Amino acid sequence: MNIFNDKSDGGITPLTVSSSLQETVFQLYKMSRLRFGLMRCVGNKNPISSDLFLIRGEVIDELDEDGKPITLYTSFSLDSFDTDNTFVDAEIQLAVVAPMFLASGECDYIVHMAASSHVDRSIEDPMTFVMDNVVATCNILNFGRQQKNLERFIYFSTDEVFGPAPKGVNYKERDRYNSTNPYSATKAGGEELAVAFENSYDMPIYITHTMNVFGERQHPEKFIPMTIKNARDGNMVTIHSDRDKKIPGSRHYIHAKDVADGCLFLLQNQDKIDSLEKDYGGAKCPKFNLVGPVEWDNLTLAQKIARAQNKELKYKMVDFHSSRPGHDLRYALDGGLLKELGWEPKVSIDERINQVVNWSLNNDRWLKL
């Protein structure tokens, strides 16, 4: 079984390669431009695990005076999957990447998770997000349609393509787009390309919508690791709220491991999915919402993070959303379709948060990156 799994350097963890490529990992992680590693896993003898979608491995724990890595922490050993692995270092916004990928051999599955995802940066520099999220997606799709035995292409999209969700509204997979910032607009553009490729070239594609993925090694600028650090140090935590500073923003948070489990479920249950009665509005391409167990507002989440450290939360409510266009108070998805098929997160969100808090406190260097 050959799997191409691509990721950006701004998500849950840096890229996965063998330990012999330590310097490459470091260079990729530090680059400001979006770069990607495609990992080809060949010939699994054992049943595939959802951990395979998480292994970006070789996380930099310490740098020397010259900024080079001293030690690396590998979250998942590639050896445990009994695979041969090929790491392709490339900027997938460039059309020349397809020959590079093809040179490493055919693959059965493509899981396209790579993206630029920071809303503020998309507002400041929308063209970069067009290149990273639309042009790059088209390049990966072009690569996919050249595979002779491609069984499935999964395009990871976002809840933000649907825009802000009024109280009581949880968007379903086929609801209309209502992008409010360049990031979400470019992800919607990637979705439309995926649908077009399935219909034009008969590519077997699934689209997933996820929201607020978190986990160990999430970029320290994100809300959860930032709150862990500020609560630990006794600093003020900013809670984004409505204009009256009374209602905090809310999300369905989901751990990266649960997202990986959902992805694996889709790949392992294609016959069950194909047997469903589906209405795609005359077009092919199934879509699925990967939704966290519960909806939490950001104040509740911050309080739980502080409580996990036996700390008192210091916070202030800030009217962030009405003063900064492109940011929405609430996002929400309906996870009923996947639940009907038999999938939902297996571990409670409280347990996941405690896991991440404990890992972060035991890996203090990560919070300083």
159 catalytic residue (yes or no): yes
155 catalytic residue (yes or no): no
Q: Where are the alpha helices (DSSP H) in the chain?
A: 22-30, 97-102, 119-124, 126-130, 136-145, 182-201, 223-233, 256-268, 270-274, 298-308, 336-341, 349-362, 364-367
How far apart are the C-alpha atoms of 282 and 178, rounded to whole Å? Answer: 21
Q: Write down the catalytic residue from 6, 9, 58, 160.
A: 160
Exposure of 277 in the CB half-sphere (CA atoms within 13 A): 0
> 227 CB contacts (<8 Å, ≥6 apart)?
237, 301, 302, 305, 306
Is the distance from CB of 354 to CB of 305 less than 8 angstroms? no
Q: Write down the catalytic residue from 6, 9, 159, 261.
A: 159
CA distances from 225 to 16, 282, 368 (A): 21, 43, 10
Backbone φ, ψ for residue 343 (5° rounding): -120, 140
How far apart are the C-alpha atoms of 39 and 85, rounded to whole Å? Answer: 6
258 closest CA partner among 355, 150, 141, 366: 355
Is the distance from CB of 155 to CB of 208 less than 8 angstroms? yes
Backbone φ, ψ for residue 155 (5° rounding): -105, 120
Q: Write down the catalytic residue from 183, 253, 315, 331.
A: 183
Q: Strand 59-63 and strand 69-73: pairing?
A: antiparallel
How far apart are the C-alpha atoms of 221 and 242, rounded to whole Å? Answer: 22
160 catalytic residue (yes or no): yes
> 202 CB contacts (<8 Å, ≥6 apart)?
none
Which residues are annotated as catalytic?
Answer: 159-160, 183
